[in-house]
Structure formats: structure tokens, C-alpha cells
Structure 1
Amino acid sequence: MSTETEPVMGLRESKKHETRQLISDHATRLFIEKGFEATTIADVAAASRVAKKTVTNYFARKEDMALDHQEEFVAGLARTVADRAVGESVLAALRREFLDGVERQDPVIGFAGERFTRMIADSPTLTARLRDLHDQREEALGRVLAGEAGTDADDFAAYAVAAQLGAAQRVLFQRIMRLTLAGRPADDIAATVADDARRVFGLLEGSFGKYGVR
């Protein structure tokens, strides 16, 4: 019985993913062309050739169509720390993963191109949502640190550490955005931010260099 239903479920999930991506792609194009605030759900539905109800079924908020990497963004720091190698500190793991992201020019850490970045910067709604996602990311990191320390989920010290480590990531994300809006080429931004990252993480070394070593 399972062998008959699994391919059907796989096809259904694949179709849902395609529809979601189609809506997100059309929405992002409209947001860039018209501005996020000026684009309506009806505009997105018409461009995607689906009903408005379909759009809202896939995306609870309009900003979710633009920031479609948000789940990966929120979970990223916590996952990096949870998966760090034996002998690696929390700070070392976060530094390694960030520098790898710079080398990949990963959109999740800010390499989104000038038009997309300007779309965010010009929208009060998207700017506010991005701040909220940074807060959620620090919260997720704090939960992992508290769990590893064997303390309560509301442990103040774990969240204080997460806030400081998250702030470094936030500053570097904003640095990438500013350089992108200034029209700097992606390769140039990557080289600059790699040096900046080493300096930023270096400033934290004295406090957190041995924190959470496995």
C-alpha cells in the first residue's frame, strides 16, 4: 500500500513547492518593479495566474513572499552551533560558517544583489520584518546554548551570549547591505566583508574564544 501512495504524495508535494516558488518569484519581481508597499496581493495573484486565496494560503503575510529564505535565516546560527565539530567553540563555528557563506556569496547572509537589497531598504515593512528575523535568530541561538548548558530555556546567561554573537552577525549583514546599495561588485563586497568578519569575530575572541568548546 505504501509503495502505491508514496509517489503520489511526492508529486503532490512537488506541485505545492512549484506553486509556492512561482508565487514568490512573481511577487519579488513586482516588488522590485513597483515597490513592496505599492504591490497588492491581487497584483501578485494576477501575475501568478492564481486566486488571491491561493496566495494567502501559501503566504500568511505579504512580506513572506519577498523574504522567502527566512526559515533558513532564523535557524542558521542555532544549526551551525548544534552541528559544530568536536574541539570547536561556538564562536569558531559561527566564524567558520560565516566566512564560508561569504565565499559562496550566500543570499541568506545578505548577498542578494542591488535591486533586491534596495527593495528591502526602501520598504518600512520589509525593514521591520528583517529586524524581527534577526531577533528570532538570536532567540533560536539562545535556546540551543541554554539547552547545551543544561539550564532552563529562559537562562539569562545563554541569551546574553546569543545576543552578543547575534549582534556580530547583524552588523556584518548590514555591512553587506550598505556595500551592495553603494553599487560595489559582489566579489569586492565578499573580499571586504571577509576581512571585516575576521576583525569582528576577533573582537569577541577574548570573551568567547573558549565558550562552548566540545
Structure 2
Amino acid sequence: MSLREQKKLETRQTISAVATRLFIQRGFDQVTIAEVAEAARVAKMTVTNHFSRKEDLVFDIRTDFVDWPANLVRANPETPALVAVRDGCFAELDKAGPMLGFADVSFVRMVRQSERLTSALRDMHVDRETQLVAALLDRHPDREMLSRTAGAHLTSVLRLLLDDVWQLTWQDVKLDDLVEQIRDSAAVAFGQLEPALGDL
């Protein structure tokens, strides 16, 4: 990464962190882009250049989140898709990572209190499914329906696990206990899918 690219990334991360702090303190819908720019000590245009939508200030990992399951499949071409996604899920669970929704309760509250943010999160799940289906079709262009079905089922499992992570976080469950509960749920969910998806 060049120095210029690194500087752009640092600016983006700073803006997102400042914006998220303001949104948590005052509510997403109550904070303007101009106020974010002022708090981050940048021009308003700098904010909009880095983030085309206000929601992206919160979900700054949107691209990584959406592409994650598809990338797991593409990175493991000899591994069945279910195994690639399942193993990636457990690896993310081991580090309580953001791809499964691990976050502070204040972040969960902020999203839940904003219809725009909950809608944006739903869109991210839909886009995640679309990307995974595309990766599966690249593997098996002659198995369209199975690829579409597999993409829908696998991303539904990931969505349900994220929902559970957030609910348990909301209930102030200790992290170690939360992780174990999610691990058990994931094992059940992927186990149910295995007979249907096979070696896709």
C-alpha cells in the first residue's frame, strides 16, 4: 500500500470512528454529515467522498461483510462450499469477529433504534447472498437452482447467527458463554444443511 493510499484509509477510518461515536451518543438520525465533518476536522466533501451514503459511516466494513462468504468459497476451490463457509464461520467465531456481528451493545442499540440502519443491514444480507450465489455458479454453472438454494441457505444461517449474537449481546451474556452458544447453534445449522448441499 502506498503512502497516499494509507493516508486515505486512515482518514476513512477516523471519519467512521468519529461518526459512529456521535451516532451512539445522539442517535443516527439526529446527527448530520456536517456535524460529522466538524467533529472529524475534515471538510464535508471529504466525508461524502469517502462515504456515498450516511449509513456507510456506520457499516464501513460493508464490502468485506458482503463478500465474505463468497471469498471463503473462492479461496478454497477444492473444498465443498458448505465446509468452506462453515470453517470460515468457526474461525470468525474464534476471534469474535465483525463478520458475525460481534460488537458493543451500544452499537447494537444504535442500529436497532434506526430504521435506516436496520434496512441497510438487511440490504447487506441480501447482497451477501447474491455474491455467494455468483461464486457458486462460477463453480457449477450447470447447477443453477442448487447454487441459488445453497447460497440462500448458507447466508440465512449466517444472518441467524448474527441475529443471535446481537440478541445475546443485548442480554449482556458474557462473551465466552455467548461464543459457545453461537458455536452450538452454528454446528446444528450447518449439520442440517450438509445432507442437502453435499459436495457442491
The reply to whether TM is greater than 0.5 is yes
- Once residues 11 and 146 of structure 1 are traced to their aligned partners in structure 2, the CA distance between those partners, rounded to angstroms, is 38
Q: 1:106 aligns with which of 93, 97, 100?
A: 97
Q: Distance in 2 between matches of 1:62 and 1:156?
A: 36
Query: Partner amino acid for 2:34?
Result: A
Per the TM alignment, residue 151 of structure 1 is displaced from its structure 2 partner at its CA by 4.0
| Kept after mapping to 2: 8 A contact 1:111/1:186 | no
- How far apart in 1 are the matches of 2:146 and 2:195? 17
| CA shift for structure 1 position 85 | 6.0
User: What residue number does 1:4 align with?
Assistant: none
Matched, 1:185 2:174: yes
Structure 1 residue 211, shift from structure 2 partner? 2.7
What does 1:121-136 correspond to in 2, within 5 Å? Answer: 121-136=112-127
Deviation at 1:191, TM superposition (A): 1.0
- Write the mapping of 1:62-141 to structure 2, written as runs, cut at 5 A: 62-84=54-76, 86=78, 88-141=79-132
SS at match of 1:112: coil
For residues 146 and 190 of structure 2, the distance between their equivalents in structure 1, rounded to whole angstroms, comes to 19
CA offsets per residue over residues 140-194 of structure 1, 9 Å max, x none? 0000111111349xx4442222111111111111111111111112222111100
1:54 maps to what in 2? 46
In 2, are the aligned partners of 1:73 and 1:137 still within 8 Å (CA)?
yes
What is the rounded CA distance, in whole Å, between the counterparts of 2:162 and 2:5 in structure 1? 33
* Structure 1 ranges of 4+ moved more than 3 A: none
Does the residue aligned with 1:37 lie in a helix, a strand or coil? helix
**Counterpart in the other structure of 1:162:** 151
Normalising by structure 2, what TM-score?
A: 0.95
Identify which of 133, 140, 164 aligns with 1:142. 133
Which residue matches 1:205? 194
Q: Do the aligned partners of 1:138 and 1:162 also contact (CA within 8 Å) in 2? A: yes
Q: Shift of residue 16 of structure 1?
A: 1.1
CA–CA separation in structure 2 for the residues paired with 1:59 and 1:129: 14
**AA of the residue aligned to 2:64:** E
Task: Give the whole-Å Cα distance in 2 for the aligned partners of 1:112 and 1:46.
Answer: 26
Structure 1 residue 22 corresponds to structure 2 residue 10? no
Instruction: List runs of 5+ in structure 1 lacking aligned partners.
Output: 1-8
Give, in whole Å, the separation in 1 of the partners of 2:136 and 2:77: 15
Aligned length: 200
> What is the aligned-residue RMSD (CA, Å)?
1.5
Identity between Structure 1 and Structure 2 (%): 40
Shift of 1:18: 1.4
TM-score, normalization: structure 1? 0.89
Say which one has the larger Rg: 1
Q: 1:54 and 1:205 mapped to 2: Cα distance?
A: 47
- Letter aligned with residue 77 of structure 1: P
Give the secondary structure class of the aligned counterpart of 1:68.
coil
